[in-house]
């Protein structure tokens, strides 16, 4: 379990309405006449000319080029060193009934390491431009830009770790500037993933997770953890040049200590929010529910100039540096949210549809906080759900 020692953590999880989430099916109905699937094995010492069997593993690039809908690429454990981006192209697609899988083999721990790259927007780690893929169980680290960049649709990215990359760890966005908005990445599920310690040289852009600028409808983050990124935990930024993105759902997730790296380093340009939900006064009706923001360097949950009707429900925000909840405009609907501070700070600001089911911080509520002093801990359950412990109280999201 990952642990952080803090005092006066806050109010009861039950009062925040945090309840168990539901795992969605990872594929559609089986195809009536599906071809026999192929299994391809990849290893750090694999050869491009090898057969791709367990005893004769191939390279990742070769395996991707060979894979067809329904096939599985297994990554053996160890460190894979790359100096250039690995791309799953637009032409490589699974189907709703036969996803193509790229996954760790068994309990082994593959790490895709891109430390040979320089910091540059052209130096991403793994690009997923195909659709109907299922990525599972590996780490992508130290890329010159995003660790994982998703431009395709209808993908599942599960139990990945993106860390120490020089832009956002895992980001969704269009494949190219010529990609029409109708083809922006849509209906992707980011599941039981972790993103941490991503940092760029100016400290302004490296978030944990991002679905911003050019993303379509139906993208979901579930049971995800963003911590110790130099900028924000989540960034759903929009800008006038590209217009509104599709509504994003973030549920049963955790953002903590964003704005400060695990080694204690900070950067003056970082926004440092847990969940940043907009930009440029463009209305998008995001959904954020059953999620926790703790000890982020600015706000826990912030509208960031999104005047839309967002659904903000059953969330818990504790001891963020400025405000736990900051919504200075818009028509968002707030239900069953809890805000708690153990010391000084700026009171929450809420404009929208809010009722008495919420417990926003309007002054001293230290008595509610002190009952939950102790540690913040978290882990993933065997079924992928997020297990969070606050001050000795545990909840499985």
Give the dihedral of Cα atoms 362, 364, 365, 371; nearest 10 deg. Answer: 160
**Does 195 have pLDDT greater than 50?**
yes
Residues identified as active-site: 276
List Cβ neighbours of 336 (8 Å cut-off, separation of 6 or more).
16, 17, 313, 314, 357, 358
Q: pLDDT tens across 19-67, in order?
A: 433 333 333 344 444 457 899 999 999 999 999 999 999 999 999 999 9
| β-sheet bridge partners, residue 126 | 86, 148
Mean pLDDT, range 382-389, rounded to an integer: 95
**Kind of pairing between the strands at 139-141 and 110-113:** parallel
**Does 5 have pLDDT greater than 90?**
no
Q: What is the mean pLDDT of the chain?
A: 90
> If you ran DSSP here, which 8-state letter would residue 181 be given?
G
Q: pLDDT tens across 257-266, in order?
A: 999 999 999 9
**Kind of pairing between the strands at 393-396 and 386-390:** antiparallel
Q: Report the distance separating Cα 293 and Cα 216, nearest Å.
A: 25
> If you ran DSSP here, which 8-state letter would residue 300 be given?
S
Mean pLDDT, range 141-166, rounded to an integer: 98
Write down the pTM of the prediction. Answer: 0.92
**Does 116 have pLDDT greater than 50?**
yes
283: left (phi over 0), alpha (psi -120 to 50) or beta: beta
- Percent of the chain scoring above 90 in pLDDT: 81
Domain chopping of the chain, boundaries: 2-26+37-396
Distance spanning both ends of the chain, measured CA to CA: 15
The mean-pLDDT minimum among 147-151, 349-353, 358-362 falls in 358-362
CATH match of 2-26+37-396 with 2.40.160.40: no
- Percent of the chain scoring above 70 in pLDDT: 88
Tokens coding 366: 């230290």
Q: Report the distance separating Cα 187 and Cα 249, nearest Å.
A: 10
Q: In what order do the strands lie in the sheet with 393-396?
A: 2-6, 374-380, 386-390, 393-396
**Kind of pairing between the strands at 148-150 and 126-128:** parallel
Q: Report the distance separating Cα 266 and Cα 258, nearest Å.
A: 10
Predicted confidence band of residue 226 (pLDDT cuts 50, 70, 90)? very high
| β-sheet bridge partners, residue 156 | 134, 189
| C-beta atoms surrounding 298 within 10 Å | 19
What's the confidence (pLDDT) of residue 11? 38
What's the confidence (pLDDT) of residue 34? 47
Mean pLDDT, range 185-209, rounded to an integer: 97
Buried-exposed string 303-334: b where 16+ CB fall within 10 A, e elsewhere: bbbbbbebbbbbbbbbbbbebbbbbeebebeb
- Compare 389 and 186 and report the one with higher pLDDT: 186
Integer CA distances (angstroms), 344 to 176, 223, 281, 319, 324, in order: 46, 30, 30, 9, 12
**Does 16 have pLDDT greater than 90?**
no
Tell whether the torsion through CA atoms of 198, 203, 206 and 207 is positive or negative: positive
């Amino acid at each position: 379990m990952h642990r952080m020692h803090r005092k006066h953590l806050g109010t009861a999880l039950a009062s925040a309405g945090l309840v168990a989430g539901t795992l969605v099916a990872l594929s559609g109905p089986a195809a009536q006449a599906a071809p026999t699937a192929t299994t391809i094995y990849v290893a750090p010492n694999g050869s491009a000319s090898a057969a791709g069997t367990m005893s004769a593993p191939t390279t990742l690039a070769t395996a991707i080029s060979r894979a067809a809908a329904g096939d599985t690429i297994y990554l053996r454990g160890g460190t894979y060193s790359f100096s250039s981006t690995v791309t799953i192209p637009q032409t490589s697609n699974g189907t709703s009934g036969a996803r193509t899988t790229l996954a760790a083999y068994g309990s082994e721990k593959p790490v895709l390491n891109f430390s040979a790259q320089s910091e540059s927007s052209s130096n991403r780690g793994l690009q997923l431009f195909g659709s109907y893929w299922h990525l599972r169980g590996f780490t992508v680290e130290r890329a010159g830009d995003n660790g994982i960049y998703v431009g395709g649709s209808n993908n599942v990215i599960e139990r990945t770790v993106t860390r120490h990359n020089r832009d956002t760890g895992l980001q969704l966005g269009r494949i190219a500037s010529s990609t029409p908005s109708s083809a922006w990445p849509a209906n992707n599920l980011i599941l039981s993933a972790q993103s941490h310690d991503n940092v760029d040289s100016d400290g302004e852009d490296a978030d944990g997770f991002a679905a911003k600028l050019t993303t379509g409808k139906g993208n979901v983050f579930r049971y995800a953890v963003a911590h110790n990124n130099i900028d924000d935990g989540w960034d759903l930024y929009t800008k006038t040049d590209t217009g509104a993105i599709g509504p994003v759902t973030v549920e049963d997730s955790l953002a903590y200590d964003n704005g400060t790296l695990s080694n204690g380093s900070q950067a003056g340009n970082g926004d440092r929010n847990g969940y940043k939900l907009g930009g440029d006064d463009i209305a998008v009706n995001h959904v954020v529910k059953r999620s926790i923001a703790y000890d982020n360097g600015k706000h826990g949950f912030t509208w960031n100039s999104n005047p839309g009707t967002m659904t903000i429900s059953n969330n818990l925000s504790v001891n963020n540096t400025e405000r736990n909840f900051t919504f200075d405009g818009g028509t968002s609907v707030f239900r069953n949210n809890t805000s708690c501070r153990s010391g000084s700070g700026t009171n929450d600001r809420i404009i929208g549809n809010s009722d008495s089911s919420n417990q926003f911080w309007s002054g001293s509520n230290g008595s509610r906080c002190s009952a939950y002093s102790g540690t913040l801990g978290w882990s993933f359950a065997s079924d992928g759900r997020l297990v969070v412990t606050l001050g000795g109280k545990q909840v499985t999201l």
